[in-house]
Structure 1
């Protein structure tokens, strides 16, 4: 697909949305967890947290506890469940030589290999090589680490490739980026509303005044394209911001000249903004049918100006915070149960594509 869409008016008929019940029924979320989140690549952490052999992090994907570790041979991902009697073998993050189960002391190497079990000499035909921690697919992309629960997940580069091309075209230098800060959003709304809010700028002029003073959020100013699981969109700075630095919320001088707002289905949104080398990762996961935890992870060049970073993050945290009550209001409207479906306008075609991918997965389509 092309990494940038041509500016043009979008026309067409209204399109019916997914039913409101898809956002309020816990049974739908159970299906989504199995058919979407368990079958796709998920962002789990940063390379900075796995800098040295022995470094590890733990997290949970769907209902599965996982470990991501670094050995001298590279980065590994494993199910964080002892092969003896199901206890988690690690917690939190840190640096270790091995993972020793706190229940019965079965011990695993950094790559998940079982290296010892008490009294194993008393067990007939005990073969440690047959009882490693369960391995999971893992991938590293610039400063980011991804894991999938599905051994048959599609190739990572096929999944991330179009968005990587889009961001490189915008002059993002991934190899130099390091994480500076995480902002957490606690959202009383279904994860799909979070995604759909991100995938349109029809609301920007109304709901994001500072953003709209800075960027062209008109129908022609916000361009987008969709293909398979990839969504590419961008906005350019307003002319007055380009000619008057005092009008900008942060100093935007640098090699990046566009606000690139990309998305990879189901829940990964990398963005870059005019100015110095930067990347903002928006990721989110459902914790209940009506609750989502979202994260803004900020990455900058080691040589970037701390004052510019501070202003940049304050500006974007403001935009993120403005979205939360909008999402929560939609959730309350859907929970009322009195209106079955909504309508999408042509400027919300990205949502139409998102809903098709999600509907297909729920009803048995491939989520890979």
Structure 2
């Protein structure tokens, strides 16, 4: 069957996914991609223009007075990555030790130099997807960069130089898996579970973990009153638990806590950080996202350089790029 054979496509988009599809295909290498982007845009603009504000500079200005749309990420990042990888392959000496790879004919299971070597995994994936190298060579080059932190940081800076506060980092950042345990209130859990592209595993609510008291409640001296209400709530929970099981959680408040595991990756962490560390985010989830970013910067200092809230993106960028 020829790859030029035409077919039909049926799909359902959220507003954000539709906007991204238009922006990515608008600057695609193939004319067919550009036609697809135009078709999506022309149909959507008739009924829901506000959902695709980032898909067109003039439309963006209409909904965001005094602001300009930056499309450099879609125009330049992929080509920039190809040039960066080509230059890196030519100039960087390969690490002498091979990564751990298990093979079964045409299938390889890649452990690299350890699954916790997040920066190396991301750089190796970037080299691999923007070249024709086999995975072992991509890892050997990436490991050389990672052994000396500055080259690794410089590689990531070059890879991300065209992104703005609205952009996702490249898909190669998904190969770095991060697992967090978080203790949070029901209110913060309601925020966190909206990030559906991650794995979120939760325990039952546990009154033994205490409650979260909002600063504005404490500021007006109502924290003790809240504590009393939550104590009555907890007592009722324990009274109901033997008979009603899970349904006893209805006795608790949105200040009560639970433990969760959040399995994510560096690309999704950038999204969480941009939205939840933003100045307009709910205070508790903002604090949690900030701690997640701080921990990620310890284990992946190169690839986490631009983590931070959307409102502070350009301040962070100035520091990272010495602008």
Question: What TM-score does the superposition give when structure 2 sets the normalisation length?
Answer: 0.28
Instruction: Identify the structure with bigger relative contact order (alpha carbons < 8 Å, sequence gap 6+).
Output: 1
Structure having the higher strand fraction is 1
Question: What TM-score does the superposition give when structure 1 sets the normalisation length?
Answer: 0.26
